[in-house]
Chain A
Amino acid sequence: MNLNQLYSEIILEHSQKSPNKKKIDGANIEEKGHNPLCGDVITLYIKTDGDIITDASFTGQGCAISQASTSMLIDLIRGKKIDEAKKLVQEFTDMIYKKDVDLDDLGDAQALAGVSDFPARVKCALLPWKTLEEAVDEKQEKNNKDEDK
Chain B
Amino acid sequence: MIDVKSIREDFPILKARPYGKDLIYLDNAATTQKPLSVIKSIDDYYTGMNANVYRSAHYLSGVATNAYEKARNKVAEFINAGSEETIIFTRNTTESINLVAYAWAMENINKGDEIILTVAEHHSNMLPWQLIAEKKGAKLRYVYLNEDSRLDMDSYRNMLSSRVKLVALQQVSNVLGIINPVREMTEEAHKVGAKVLVDGAQSVPHMKVDVRDIGCDFFAFSGHKMLGPMGIGVLYIKKDLLDEVPAFMRGGEMIDEVYEDRATFADPPLKYEAGTPNVEGAIGLAAAIDYLDGIGMDNIHKAEVDLTEYALKKLKEIDFVKIYGPLDMKDRMGVISFNAADIHPHDVATILDQDGVAIRSGHHCAQPLMRYLKVTATCRASFYIYNTHEEVDEFVESLKGIRKWFK
A interface residues (Cβ-Cβ under 8 A, vs B)? 2-3, 6-7, 12, 16, 37-41, 61-65, 118, 120-121, 124
Contact = CB atoms under 8 A, between A and B. Distances in A.
Interface string B365-407: 0010010000011000000000000000000000000000111
A89 B355 CA distance: 33
14 contacts: A2-B354, A3-B351, A7-B406, A38-B346, A38-B362, A39-B363, A39-B376, A62-B346, A62-B376, A63-B347, A64-B344, A64-B347, A64-B406, A120-B349
A118 B350 contact: yes
B361 interface: yes
Contacts of B370: 39
Nearest to B354: A3
A121 B361 CA distance: 12
Task: Report whether over half of chain A's contact residues are helix, strand or loop; otherwise say mixed.
Answer: mixed
Task: Report whether over half of chain B's contact residues are helix, strand or loop; otherwise say mixed.
Answer: helix
Contacts of B363: 38-39
Interface of B: 343-347, 349-351, 353-354, 361-363, 367, 370, 376-377, 405-407
A118 B346 CA distance: 12
A63 B344 contact: yes
Contacts of A16: 406
B362 A7 contact: no
Contacts of A124: 346
Nearest to A118: B350
Given A3-B354, A124-B346, A38 B406 contact: no
B350 A62 contact: no
A1 to B, nearest CB: 10
A39 B368 CA distance: 12
B362 A39 contact: yes
B377 A39 contact: yes
A22 B390 CA distance: 45
B108 to A, nearest CB: 32
A120 B376 contact: no
A3 B21 CA distance: 15
A63 B351 CA distance: 12
Contacts of B354: 2-3
A65 B346 contact: yes
Given A37-B362, A39-B363, A63 B346 contact: yes
B350 A120 contact: yes
Contacts of B343: 64
A142 B116 CA distance: 46
B347 A7 contact: yes
Given A63-B345, A65-B346, A120-B353, 19 more contacts: A3-B350, A3-B405, A7-B351, A12-B405, A12-B407, A16-B406, A37-B362, A38-B361, A38-B362, A39-B362, A39-B376, A39-B377, A63-B347, A64-B344, A64-B347, A65-B347, A118-B350, A120-B346, A121-B350
Nearest to B345: A63
